[in-house]
Amino acid sequence: MFFNRKQRISEKYAPVGKIGEGTYGLVYKARNIQNQSGNSEAESFVAVKKFKSFKSGDGISPTAIREIKLLRELKNPYIVDLVDVMLDEADKALYLVFDYAEHDLLEMIRCHHNRSAPHAMPMHTVKSLLWQILHGINYLHKNWIIHRDLKPSNILVTGLDKPPNERGCVKIADFGLARLFQSPLRPLTDVDAVVVTIWYRAPELLLGAKHYTKAIDLWAIGCIFAELVTSKPLFQGQEKERKGDDRNPFQSDQIDKIFRILGKPSVERWPGVIDLPHWSQAQTWQNYPCILHDRVRGLAKGSSGYDLLTKLLEYDPDKRITAEDALKHPFFTEEPRPTHIAFVDPNIDPYKSRPVTPLDPKKDIGWAMSATTSGTNGQTPMTRPMPQSAPLFSSAPPPFKRTRINDR
Amino acid sequence: MAANFWNSTHYRHWLRKVDEVYKQADAMMKKDQSTFKEDEQNNIKVIYSQIISTLAMKSKLRQRVAATAIVYYRRFFARNAVRDHDPRLIAPVALYLAAKAEEHTLAAKIVVAQMADIYQADHPYPYSVIHVYDYEFKLIAALEFDLIIYHPYRPMIQYCADASFHDLVTAAWPILNDSYKSDACLRYPPYLIAIASIYIAGTLRDREMTNWVKKMNIDLQELADIIQYLSALYANPSIIRTSGPQVERINNKLQSHFATKIQNAQSGLAKKPPSSSRPKMSLKLAE
């Protein structure tokens, strides 16, 4: 059975350290206790997402509900696998347990960026990652789901802790903003104004579109494709802060960044643009030539890869390529062919392991501090046993800053 | 998730295992028999399904949200006994959770206030938002986190459009609404309930429906079962309402059964130990 009500989370998973933090809550790396006792093979890990709840709002957070409800229905090799949900009624916490993935695209891209001798990601890896992302998104779209928040940090990639044929494999994660789009009960933008980190946000959204489509995910994939090739974000706009009642201000700098690289769209090329609220403002701006080929030198102008990129970064959402059609693009039938394992050699993982922050007794209350009390098979927990009531200034190990790969 | 009903949790975990679900439901009914007679148990289900619809209407939520909540409510009581869990609390909690799952927001204090407002008994409505928060956890766990529910409304409209039965949509709609007063949603796939509702609606208007049904490529025996099951709702003359002496009697009975538990729980809440000592559940209605 998926879920055993009688079992406590500390009996199944032993926390190892923290791997992420966001407004929704915290993400931990944890060891799967049961798997270990069952066989002598390598230990298996999970990612445990702890949602803040109860105190911060009205019952279980809607983000958690959204993520659970969708992931319970989804099953695809390129979508993160929800293996368990645990409830802690005592501290009103909800834990989502995922299969562990060692990397995310953000870390992998950084690895190729800022080095003494910068080197691009191998084209075979780029193509395989892109192909897998498109597969995962095609599956979502076929199931009437828009992800809405695709960005490098939400795209995980498995490492060497997995069996050889499951390594270097994309796992699309973070469904906190994902939405079923079949006959929404309310216009999608009503519920929460902010959608998709602005660097990956599609131009129709930036110009104020109210009803958007799966095409927004394809724009984000286009941005990610370019970023994989060049190791740096394509459109790095300055985000305008939300002020007062305006929950969704016109992100003019982001639109400007896009226009400067792709050129300003014309009404002939994108007829629907005239209906968008912010177009009246943006259309008066200076025109620029398209310099995309100059920004993405790894893809020669005229190559199939460049052609696919321009089809993903098509202004008009109605003309933008779909995930299904993108998968049929000649880019994927040319050498090097994309593979299920994105690494050049399945036995060599060229990327650094995900940084794991030791547990912090100030923040990591509840299950996360149970590390020392549960059966950890003699493994040394990363923090000292620390009673919850310990004074905050005690000798707890200082939480060290998440170390960036490029700082080393 | 319209594309893949056959891969859904609705189908795989619930409809395909309907025998298992019913075995459990029967065991729960037996467990309840010493406290609630069989017809009382049925009345409670019908009344509280109706109350969920009424609450949804008062909060201006769509029928779909109410329908999802009713499925949650019925799934919960297929696995739990009424004597252990108060329907007067489960019903509003089911709507509260369904609203979230259907991308609406419904504040717990609103649903409690509205429940208190329509509640009929010789005593005030005994639950507060704290109880709603507590039971939201229990409910979502009992549902095994399967929150997406398929409903027959959309397929019904689609089938009517395909067959040009445009006049039957408004006739079949209330039949679908009435189906939620029964366990049809636990027993049968929504697309078959949709076909059955159209068949009944057409037959009531003296239309010849057999040829259409034969072309649908479905199990006709199962369809006949559903038609009979839904028609039986109308054969029963005692149409239960959400108001009136019958409701009051049920609520008074529930109150006398649960009063001590609520009292114990509330005194437990009052002297809640500090959080560092890791209290057990603040509300112990379950045992």
Same domain, residue pair A223 and A176? yes
Q: Give the 3-state secondary structure of residue A37.
A: helix
A346 in a domain, yes or no?
no
pLDDT confidence bin for A7, thresholds 50/70/90: confident
Same domain, residue pair A70 and A124? no
Nearest CA of chain B to the CA of A145: how many Å? 8
CATH number at residue A80: 3.30.200.20
Pairing of strands A93-99, A103-104: unpaired
Give tens-digit pLDDT for A346-361: 888 888 888 888 887 7
Domains in chain A, number = 2
Same domain, residue pair A183 and A90? no
Outline which parts of chain B fall under CATH 1.10.472.10. Answer: 21-148+243-277, 153-239
Q: How far apart are CA B7 and CA B11, in angstroms?
A: 7
* Full DSSP string of A154-173: GEEE--TTS-GGGSS-EEE-
Same domain, residue pair A85 and A117? no
A392 in a domain, yes or no?
no
Catalytic residue of the set A149, A174, A349, A360: A149
Hey, what CATH topology would domain B153-239 get?
A: Cyclin A; domain 1 (1.10.472)
CA-based radius of gyration for chain B: 20
A337 in a domain, yes or no?
no
Same domain, residue pair A319 and A375? no
Whether residue B3 has pLDDT greater than 60: no
Q: How far apart are CA A310 and CA A304, in angstroms?
A: 10
Q: How far apart are CA B5 and CA B24, in angstroms?
A: 24
- Which residues does residue A157 pair with via DSSP β-bridges, in sequence order? A103, A170
User: Of all residues in chain A, what percent carry a pLDDT higher than 90?
Assistant: 52
A66 in a domain, yes or no?
yes
- Cross-chain CB nearest to A62 (options B62, B100, B154): B100
Provide the residue type at B4 as one letter: N
Least confidently predicted of A67-76, A101-110, B229-238, B260-269: B260-269
Contact A92 B137 (CB under 8 A): yes
* Full DSSP string of A39-67: -SS---EEEEEEEP-SSSSSSS-HHHHHH
Residue from B137, B278, B281 to probe the interface with A (highest A Cβ count within 10 Å): B137
pLDDT confidence bin for A248, thresholds 50/70/90: confident
Contact B8 A73 (CB under 8 A): yes
Dihedral over alpha carbons B248, B250, B256, B259 (to 10 degrees): -80
Same domain, residue pair A138 and A205? yes
Note down the domain range covering A39: 5-100+355-380
Same domain, residue pair A157 and A169? yes
- Cross-chain CB nearest to B146 (options A5, A72, A91): A72
Q: How far apart are CA B247 and CA B236, in angstroms?
A: 17
Nearest CA of chain B to the CA of A165: how many Å? 25
**Domain ends where: A269, A297, A332?**
A332
Question: Average model confidence (pLDDT) for chain A?
Answer: 81
Q: Which residues of B touch A180 (CB under 8 A)?
A: 1, 103
A393 in a domain, yes or no?
no
Same domain, residue pair A195 and A169? yes
Q: Is-contact A189 A206, C-beta < 8 A? A: no
Q: Kindly state whether A368 is in contact with chain B, defined as any CB-CB distance less than 8 angstroms.
A: no
Q: How far apart are CA B53 and CA B62, in angstroms?
A: 9
- A149 in catalytic set: yes
Same domain, residue pair A286 and A169? yes
Residue from B21, B24, B65, B100 to probe the interface with A (highest A Cβ count within 10 Å): B100
A342 in a domain, yes or no?
no
Query: pTM here?
Result: 0.85
A83 in a domain, yes or no?
yes
Provide the residue type at B110 as one letter: I
Same domain, residue pair A107 and A195? yes
Q: Is A151 annotated as a binding residue?
A: no
* Dihedral over Cα of A107, A110, A116, A122: its sign: positive
| ipTM exceeds 0.90 | no
CATH number at residue A296: 1.10.510.10
Same domain, residue pair A67 and A199? no
Contact B137 A191 (CB under 8 A): no
Q: How far apart are CA A120 and CA A126, in angstroms?
A: 10
pLDDT confidence bin for A51, thresholds 50/70/90: confident
User: For the residues A164-180, what does the mean pLDDT come to?
Assistant: 87
Q: Which residue has the tokens 């880019």?
A: A331
Q: Is-contact B42 B132, C-beta < 8 A? A: no
| Domain B21-148+243-277 -> CATH class | mainly alpha
Q: How far apart are CA A20 and CA A9, in angstroms?
A: 19
Q: Which residues of B touch A94 (CB under 8 A)?
A: 137
Q: Which two tokens stand for residue B18?
A: 């309907």
For B231, the enclosing helix (H) or strand (E) is helix B220-235
